[in-house]
Structure formats: C-alpha cells, structure tokens
Amino acid sequence: MESKSTVGTGNVKKSTAARKSKKTASVSEARESTYTVEELAAGAKRFHEKYEVVKAALIVAGKKTATVKETEKLIKEFKERKVI
C-alpha cells in the first residue's frame, strides 16, 4: 500500500508544479500595464517617435489599449509597412 500512496503523492507534486508554472505565467502577464492610445502617444518620446507615428500605429492596428512592449512591436510593423 505504501507504493500506492507514493505514486499518488508524485502525481500531486506534478500537478502542483504545473499549477505554479501557469500562475507564474499569468502573474507576469498581469504585471504588464496597459495604456490607452492617447497615453501611449503622449509618451512618444519613450519610443523615440513622434506623437503622430505612435497614434497612427495603434489606430491602424485597431488597438484601443496596449502594453509598452506591444506598442513597440506595432510601431516597428507600422514603419515597415509597404505603401500602396
């Protein structure tokens, strides 16, 4: 019977570890603040861009709110777009 309880304990440890990794991922995502288009555009100097570039990048992407990291990515994509 001891081997059964050891196996059960191992399973509990595995699921606890799995839960912890999920919590860690969601906590790190939750820590990143989101800002409105106006707030991000007002802080355009942080991105080394003009107000208009930051605002246009977010509007073209259809965003109303975004994180700083996401905004950096959107600005890069916006600036690399081909003009038709």
**Which one-letter amino acid corresponds to residue 81?**
R
| Token pair belonging to 4 | 């059964």
Same domain, 48 and 9: no
What residues contact residue 41 under an 8 Å CB cut-off, 6+ apart?
Answer: 51, 52, 54, 55, 58
Q: Is the pLDDT of residue 9 over 90?
A: no
- The reported pLDDT for the residue numbered 84 is 87
Same domain, 39 and 26: no
pLDDT tens for 21-72 read 555 555 555 688 999 999 999 999 999 999 999 999 999 999 999 999 999 9
Same domain, 1 and 42: no
| Token pair belonging to 33 | 């603040």
Q: Is the pLDDT of residue 15 over 80?
A: no
Q: State the total domains in the chain.
A: 2
- Supply the range of the domain harboring residue 84: 33-84
DSSP letters for the chain: -HHHHHHHHHHHHHHHHHHHHHHHHHHHHHHS--EEHHHHHHTGGGGTS-HHHHHHHHHHTT-SEE-HHHHHHHHHHHHHPPP-
Q: Is the pLDDT of residue 16 over 60?
A: no
